[in-house]
Every structure is written in C-alpha cells, then in structure tokens.
Amino acid sequence: MSMDQAVTAEGIEQAITEFVSGRVKAEVPADEDLFASGLVSSMFAMELVVHLEQAFSVQILGDDLKRDNFRTVQAMTALVARLRGVEQPADA
C-alpha cells in the first residue's frame, strides 16, 4: 500500500480493509466485529497493531493499545486517522 493513497480517512480504511481481508482470506465489512466473529486470534491482533504502526508511521501506545480500538476496520481507521491528525467525518 502506498502512503499517498492512505492520507485520507477513506484511503486509510481501504488500506486496512485490504490488509485484513488478505490475511483472513475473507471479505471484511468495515463494521464487522473481528473479535466476535473469531476472525482475529490473539496473535493476529498484535500483528494488526504492528502492521498499522509500520504502514502508517504511527506509534500506538498506552491507553490506545486496547482491543476496542482494533475491533473493527472502522475503529482502526479512526485510531490511525486520529494519530496522523487526518480530518475525519463526524460519524467515523
């Protein structure tokens, strides 16, 4: 994924969706609860953290490192957007 396409909230969401569905080999709607559906094992959960940090050059620390922030593609998008200071739609 290139950083250029990832600077908008939309681009971030698209990039995260691509990564997650590639790894779980299934379509992943942005609001699907990844933990409830058993898609995300505890090991993969941490890979998500590391991946987001590397792909978007952010550091996810302290209170941000909680499962609620990784529960859905939407939640991850909001987290990355906030850490990168990207404008987000009010409902994101």
11/70 with CB nearer other proteins: 70
Q: Does 42 participate in binding other proteins (rule CB under 8 A)?
A: yes
List the one residue from 1, 21, 23, 58 that touches other proteins (CB under 8 A): 23
List the x/- string, 53-72, binding to other proteins by CB under 8 A.
------------xxx-----
Q: Does 26 participate in binding other proteins (rule CB under 8 A)?
A: no
60/86 with CB nearer other proteins: 60
Say how far apart CA 16 and CA 84 lie, in whole Å.
Answer: 15
- Cβ contacts of 73-76, under 8 Å, gap ≥ 24: 73/13, 73/16, 73/17, 73/20, 73/28, 73/29, 73/30, 73/31, 73/32, 73/34, 74/13, 74/30, 74/31, 76/16, 76/48, 76/52
Q: Smallest distance from the beta carbon of 5 to other proteins, in angstroms? A: 20
- Interface residues toward other proteins, by CB under 8 A: 23, 41-43, 45-47, 49-50, 65-67
